[in-house]
Structure 1
Amino acid sequence: MQFKPAIFTTLALSYLAAATPTRRTLPASQCATGPIQCCKSVEPATSAAVSKALGLLGIVVQDVTALVGLTCDPISVIGVGGGACSAQSVCCENNSFHGVVALGCVPVDLSL
């Protein structure tokens, strides 16, 4: 049996693609946890910026894989065209920190 580099490369890339996590995006209409947030940045709970903000607020995050929004404002998606967000629009489980942070966020597509 002769080694075929093209077959090996194709198989390796297909396994890599299957193992790479994809970022889930939610239609705006499916955000049932409160108003959609427009956050200046959205990062994993383990990032340095998020860890610092959470530490200053005394917040302990149980799920270290969760996305956390920083510097967030609620937006409205009512009506045609919906709300506008020049940063990252997200649907978050916990928005009770006055816009400083929002916990358990999922990216939202405002056009859906």
Structure 2
Amino acid sequence: MIRIILCCPRLYDEQAGSGNAAALLGVLNIPVQGANVPIGLDCTPLSVLAVAGNSCNTQTVCCENNNFKGVVAIGCTPINVNL
């Protein structure tokens, strides 16, 4: 499994069947496995920000699934890139 580092302005750690992120997943017809799946919304790959000379001013996360062009990233874990 390939994981990617993203900058996500919105990160939800809620049950896949309820809440704001779940509503968006339903509209986009994106299946989610598991009861509590961390979900990032409106994410940008950290490498894109670095090329543009910007940094992540919100939550930096490592995600399992970013096949939805940053609109939704699934299985995200917050990380500290300043270590």
TM range (shorter): 0.7 to 0.9
Residues 1:33 and 2:3 are matched in the alignment: yes
Tell me the number of residue pairs that the alignment of Structure 1 and Structure 2 aligns.
75
Identity of counterpart residues, as a percentage?
Answer: 43
Residues 1:99 and 2:67 are matched in the alignment: no
TM-score (norm 2): 0.79
Q: Distance in 1 between matches of 2:69 and 2:14?
A: 18
Structure having the larger proportion of residues in helix: 1
- Return the letter of the residue paired with 1:38: C
Structure having the larger proportion of residues in strand: 2
Q: Deviation per CA, 1:42-68: give whole Å up to 9, x if none.
A: 112425111111011101211121200
Partner of 1:42: 11
Partner of 2:79: 108
Considering only aligned residues, what root-mean-square deviation do their CA atoms show, in Å? 1.9
Unaligned runs of 5+ in 2: none
Q: Which has the higher contact order (CA 8 A, sep 6+)?
A: 2
Deviation above 6 Å: which 4+ runs of structure 1?
A: none
- Return the letter of the residue paired with 2:21: V
Partner of 2:32: 61
Match of 1:89 among 46, 60, 64: 60
Q: Distance in 2 between matches of 1:54 and 1:110?
A: 28
